[in-house]
Amino acid sequence: MIIHLNKSIDNDKAEALGRQYEAICMHDGARYVLITSSKVKELDANLKSLTEASFISDTDIQLASRQYNPDTRTIDLGVVTLGGQTANTIVITGPCSVESEEQIEQAATLCIELGVKVLRAGAYKPRTSPYTFQGLGLDGLKLLDKMRTKHGLKIITEVRDSTHIDEVIEYADIIQIGAKAMYDQGILRKCGKANKPVLIKRGFGSTLQEFVQSAEFVLSSGNPDVMLCERGIRTFETRTRFTLDLCGVAWLREHTNLPVILDPSHAMGYAYGVSDLARACVAMGVDGLLIETHPNPKAAKSDAEQQLNFEQFRALHKSLGVVAGAVGRHIV
């Protein structure tokens, strides 16, 4: 249950009530809010007298639920706003990993050429093998910072584990929590205290319920700016890298108030399918796309097979406006 305490209740009192009722206590900008397990369906008389409103939830998808807040959250990314009353579909692009200044400069230049406002690239890569390129770490973050300053781009980059979470929070404009980090509650809670938007990628073995409950860790820690990213789940199919769960996307849009971003690059795993999938995603009216691009995909140090070259991305980008227009949305 979500309980809006009376506005006159201060921090000490709210915290004490939180402990008494085994609830998370947070401030939502207007008042203190207690959140109990969704199994709680009734307020006791004492708490009722201190309460402005209360909301029953079917499951522990609570703050993210349309039952609680029917409107899609508005997320201000600085250069553009997503969700809410906007019909914006943001296109985010860049390489899988920052590899060198030359490579990330080329990626940034492509963004500027096409009016793409957010550059993606990982500096701490969550690789499947310890023997492959692990990312440039802090040096990579500094190169991304340089691109932000030089080109006025916003940066999304991922946090892999707790060892560098503060660095990523400091350098990123949008913090990406990778598919493998989705269950890391240390990362989720810390991002919940950060004053920056967070994009959570769905773990490839996670149910929709588990995925959105990860978002609940961030939201209930006080950060309202959370986006969900479907990036493919593991199924019996092995010919494609993962299976892009568009049914799941429809479910997320129906049941949650969080903007939904689609990553067809990791789902497909091969460049040849990415543009068609991206258009299909835009036709669903999603809030954004995350597409991997590389100046020379064959030479990429991670995810070489799935990155679009710049020609492929230019062609894709050009076609997206038409698809978006057909479903009443704008590419930004």
Give contact residues for ligand PEP (rule: CB under 6 A).
Answer: 96, 122, 126, 178-180, 201, 231, 266
- Least distance between Mn ion and beta carbon 307 (Å): 8
Which part of the chain contacts Mn ion (CB under 5 A), choosing from 1-9, 18-26, 90-98, 269-277? 90-98
Instruction: Decide if residue 3 touches Mn ion (CB under 5 A).
Output: no
- CB contact at 8 A, 227 and 199: yes
- Least distance between ligand PEP and beta carbon 177 (Å): 8
Task: Rank residues 61 and 96 by Cβ distance to ligand PEP and give the closer one.
Answer: 96
Partner from ligand PEP, Mn ion, none contacting 91, C-beta within 5 to 8 A by type: none
- Least distance between ligand PEP and beta carbon 122 (Å): 5
Partner from ligand PEP, Mn ion, none contacting 178, C-beta within 5 to 8 A by type: ligand PEP
d(CA 255, CA 250): 9
Partner from Mn ion, ligand PEP, none contacting 160, C-beta within 5 to 8 A by type: none
- Least distance between Mn ion and beta carbon 92 (Å): 13
Task: Rank residues 140 and 222 by Cβ distance to ligand PEP and give the closer one.
Answer: 140
CB closest to ligand PEP, residue no: 178
φ, ψ at 209 (rounded to 5°): -60, -45
Residue owning tokens 């990330």: 104
Q: Which two tokens stand for residue 139?
A: 């040096």
Contacts of 175 (CB under 8 A, 6+ apart): 156, 157, 158, 159, 168, 169, 191, 194, 196, 197, 198, 199
End-to-end CA distance of the chain: 37
- b (16+ CB within 10 A) / e for 35-64: bbebebeebeeebeebbeebbebeebbbbb
Which part of the chain contacts Mn ion (CB under 5 A), choosing from 43-51, 74-82, 89-97, 162-170? 89-97
d(CA 103, CA 95): 9
- Least distance between ligand PEP and beta carbon 63 (Å): 23
Task: Rank residues 60 and 303 by Cβ distance to Mn ion and give the closer one.
Answer: 303
Helix/strand/coil for 147: helix
- Least distance between Mn ion and beta carbon 103 (Å): 14
- CB contact at 8 A, 18 and 25: yes
Partner from Mn ion, ligand PEP, none contacting 203, C-beta within 5 to 8 A by type: none
- Least distance between Mn ion and beta carbon 322 (Å): 27
Partner from ligand PEP, Mn ion, none contacting 231, C-beta within 5 to 8 A by type: ligand PEP
Task: Rank residues 216 and 303 by Cβ distance to Mn ion and give the closer one.
Answer: 303
Question: Shortest CA distance to 173 belongs to which of 292, 302, 76, 262?
Answer: 76
- Least distance between Mn ion and beta carbon 96 (Å): 3
What part of residues 93-112 is at the interface with Mn ion (CB under 5 A)? Answer: 96
d(CA 92, CA 318): 14
Instruction: Decide if residue 216 touches Mn ion (CB under 5 A).
Output: no
Task: Rank residues 47 and 233 by Cβ distance to ligand PEP and give the closer one.
Answer: 233
Contacts of 126 (CB under 8 A, 6+ apart): 158, 160, 161, 178, 179, 180, 181
107's enclosing H/E stretch is helix 101-114
Instruction: Decide if residue 303 touches Mn ion (CB under 5 A).
Output: yes
Q: Which residues contribute to the site for Mn ion (CB under 5 A)? A: 96, 303
